[in-house]
Structure 1
Amino acid sequence: MEAITFGVFGILIIVAFLLGKGSKSKIDNSDLTNEVREIINRSQDAVKTTLTSEIRDRNNDSRDTLVAVLKTLGEEQQKMQKTLGEEQQKHLVVVGENISKLQTSNEKKLDEMRNVVDEKLQTTLEKRIGESFKLVSDRLEAVHKGLGEMQTLATDVGGLKKVLTNVSTRGAMGEIQAERILEQILAPAQYGKNVKTHPECKGQVEFAIKLPGIDGTMDEPVWLPIDCKFPKEDYERLLDAYETGDKKAVEKAYSTFESNVTAKAKTIRKEYVSAPHTTDFAVMFLPTEGLYADVVRRPGLFESLQRDHQIVVTGPSTLAAFVNSLQMGFRTLALETNASQVYNVLGTVKTEFVKFGEHLGKLHKQLNTAANTIGGDGESIQRRLRAMERALKEVEALDSPSNEIMGLLED
């Protein structure tokens, strides 16, 4: 690099010299330029040669230095690998010892934990098994008890089925239910049981409510017939059709149910209704709300029974409401009857009060006469009383039982 520096510095000196020389000899600029170019070219060649030689020397030196460094690095690496191998071996020995100790400690702790877990598991398992056996025993006992209750229930259901299957028993059940409703609302004198509602009646209606007769009294009452009906078979077929969801089956069952109810209404109307001995309508009592609901649900059936056959269909709740309304009618009638009696009593009181006024007037006149008589002779009576007091004043009082008696009389 120093040779290059000197070469460049020499070129600059030559250029300066030529410039100074050119100014003195007034040489043409083109010649000067050529000379400068030649000098620069020669200088460049010299510099290039010098640089090439310098670079070659530097490369050789660098190669030798790099080889030495690589050799040193290889030796150091071998030493480091050897040292690392020794240290690694030592660490492996230490790690192996620690792992052995850790394994021993872990095995010991695992044994302790296994013993504790086994002990707790055994205790818990025995406790849980005992509780489970107790629970199972209680459940089995409850199941056994439930089976007994189910058997009792099955017996009861069988008995109920027999009751519902038997037509006469089924009717008796409806009668019992209707009678309970009537006896809770009406007095025994307000209704009858197994009543022959009119002279030409061949049978007896189950219940009949007494209504006032034509004269407004209960001497010859007008009967309101109440008959209990329970079309169980047709109703069950209707429920079965509902469960299947078959519209045709439902319609067929409903048609049969409607025909049966209508036939029963005609029978009640024909046998038990005969005005003026009875009302111009009767009541059909259905003992379940489901039966009553299906009658009401059927379009036109409820209205047809009431309009065409003069039959009012009731269920348990509607019969109670119907009888309650009749009870209010009874109370209104009783108020009207009592009001008539009170009116008659008030008329009698009025007559007696007039007579009492006449007698009171006569008594007033007599009292006035007596008062006038006493008032005229009052002064003479007072004089006689004072004279008697003066005469008796000198008489001494005697201490005797008679005095005590007189004192008691005065008191």
Structure 2
Amino acid sequence: MIDSILVIGGRPLDGFELVLLAGLLSGVLMAILAWRSSRLQTRLAGEAQARAREMEDRLRDVMAGQSELAGRLSTMTHLIGERQSDMHQAMSERLDAVGHRLGHGLLESARFTGDHLTKLNERLAVVEGAGQAIGALADEVVGLKSILSNKQARGAFGQARLEAIIQDSLPPSAYAFQPTLSNNSRPDCIVRLPTTSEVLVVDAKFPLEAIAAWRHGGDGEMARAGEQRVRGDIGRHIDDIARKYLLPGETQDIALMFVPSESLFADIQESFSDVVERAFKARVVLVSPSLLMLAVQVVQSLVRDARMRDEARRIQVEVGRLLEDVRRVSERAGALDKHLRKAGEDVTGLILSTEKVTQRGLRIATVDLSEGEPPAAQLQRPLAAE
């Protein structure tokens, strides 16, 4: 018995039947494939013909486009030739204009450069003069350095600067230089205040050697020694001013110690606050040139106020006299008004009398001398009626 390999519809199939079935299926499948292949070839052939016709149409369009493009290219070539000639002409004109402008610009540039060179020469001459002035200033600085290195000359420099500040701000009656006080001491300057007889003392001192040693001492022992020297020198100046120039009933309760350098004053205020406090306790005020100017302006304001008060009293006296004169003028004007009114009344009466005389003259001129009445009666009747 042959074993079945496959069962279809409840019927078992052996190997031979299975081979026959496979062959039959293969033939059917080959027929289907051949039919589909023929249809595909037919469709592809139709599509190829359609594509061929489309390609022919496109080739005709391309040929027409090429011919049209050739015409346009010829037209463009002609236009480009014309435009090129126009461009050459315009470029030549532009180049001529640019050449003209360039030549004009070069001329202007040459003229401008010449003017600038002339001004530069003038400025160089000014710079040369400034260099000479700087040289002279350097000589003056060297002279100032020599002055500051000499103690007596330095004192004269401080005194001169103090005098310049005082003289520029106050009238001569408000100050005095090198006066002698009751204790035979001679301060550099006193300022007279308008509201009191006690004067303000200003003394010019500045310890340059000590501060120079402190500035150049560095951070070691020399710096500390310089600080001690500055404190000692300024302290002695403060004590001398407080002892000599603070005199009850003759000077003010405070005195000014003038330091004729803003940088020295700033160093003292910044690094030696104990010295400033010591001076404050001793009623001595350290002032720089700017602070002295401010103090002098305050004194100047006081002097101006005192003068204004004096002048105000004078003005009051003069105003009283002016009022008396005005009263007299008013009385005389009243009397004149009375006389003018009386004269006006007299003139009014005179005008009335003149009018009456005129009217009577007119009446006399118009008298009718008739035969029925004597002339005397005609003249007397209008007069009596009046």
Q: Determine which of 177, 188, 204 is the counterpart of 1:206.
A: 188
Q: Give CA deviations for 1:196-226 in whole Å, capped at 9, x if unaligned.
A: 2x3x131322222221144xxxxxx542221
Distance 2:163 2:140 in 1: 27
1:285 deviates by: 0.8
CA contact (8 A) 1:224 1:281 kept: yes
1:155 deviates by: 10
Q: 1:277 to 1:348 in 2, by over 3 A?
A: farther
Per the alignment, in what secondary structure is the counterpart of residue 313 of structure 1?
strand
User: 1:292-371 maps to which residues of 2 (within 5 A)?
Assistant: 292-297=265-270, 298-306=272-280, 308-371=281-344
Distance 1:272 1:385 in 2: 100
CA contact (8 A) 2:189 2:203 kept: yes
Match for residue 45 of structure 1?
Answer: none
TM-score of the pair, normalised by structure 2: 0.51
1:166 paired with 2:139, answer: no
Distance 1:359 1:282 in 2: 61
User: 1:201-240 maps to which residues of 2 (within 5 A)?
Assistant: 201-214=183-196, 222-240=198-216
1:195 paired with 2:169, answer: no
Distance 2:354 2:188 in 1: 89
Match for residue 186 of structure 1?
Answer: 170
Distance 1:340 1:260 in 2: 50
Distance 1:338 1:227 in 2: 33
1:378 deviates by: 2.5
Q: Determine which of 340, 350, 355 is the counterpart of 1:377.
A: 350
CA contact (8 A) 2:257 2:285 kept: yes
CA contact (8 A) 2:214 2:223 kept: yes
Match for residue 53 of structure 1?
Answer: none
Distance 1:379 1:302 in 2: 98
Distance 2:231 2:144 in 1: 25
Match for residue 114 of structure 2?
Answer: none
Per the alignment, in what secondary structure is the counterpart of residue 282 of structure 1?
strand
Distance 1:314 1:201 in 2: 25
Distance 1:259 1:383 in 2: 114
Q: 1:268 to 1:373 in 2, by over 3 A?
A: same
Query: After the TM superposition, which of the residue ranges 200-209 and 332-341 deviates more from structure 2?
Result: 332-341
User: 1:19-58 maps to which residues of 2 (within 5 A)?
Assistant: none
| Structure with bigger gyration radius | 1
Look up the equivalent residue of 1:269 and give its one-letter code.
A
Look up the equivalent residue of 2:161 and give its one-letter code.
Q
Q: CA RMSD in A?
A: 3.4
Distance 2:336 2:138 in 1: 87
Look up the equivalent residue of 2:213 and give its one-letter code.
R
1:236 deviates by: 1.8
Per the alignment, in what secondary structure is the counterpart of residue 215 of structure 2?
helix
Match for residue 23 of structure 1?
Answer: none
Distance 2:214 2:299 in 1: 34
Distance 2:290 2:284 in 1: 17
1:381 deviates by: 4.7
CA contact (8 A) 1:212 1:222 kept: no
Distance 2:326 2:190 in 1: 46
1:386 deviates by: 11
1:250 paired with 2:217, answer: no
User: 1:68-147 maps to which residues of 2 (within 5 A)?
Assistant: none
Per the alignment, in what secondary structure is the counterpart of residue 253 of structure 2?
coil
CA contact (8 A) 2:193 2:302 kept: no
Distance 1:284 1:204 in 2: 14
1:264 deviates by: 0.9
Q: 1:328 to 1:213 in 2, by over 3 A?
A: closer
Q: Give CA deviations for 1:86-131 in whole Å, capped at 9, x if unaligned.
A: xxxxxxxxxxxxxxxxxxxxxxxxxxxxxxxxxxxxxxxxxxxxxx
Query: After the TM superposition, which of the residue ranges 373-382 and 308-317 deviates more from structure 2?
Result: 373-382
Distance 2:248 2:325 in 1: 45
Look up the equivalent residue of 2:343 and give its one-letter code.
A
Per the alignment, in what secondary structure is the counterpart of residue 279 of structure 1?
strand
Match for residue 17 of structure 1?
Answer: none
TM-score of the pair, normalised by structure 1: 0.48
Distance 2:294 2:165 in 1: 10
Match for residue 81 of structure 1?
Answer: none
State the aligned residue count: 228
Q: 1:385 to 1:269 in 2, by over 3 A?
A: farther
Look up the equivalent residue of 2:200 and give its one-letter code.
L
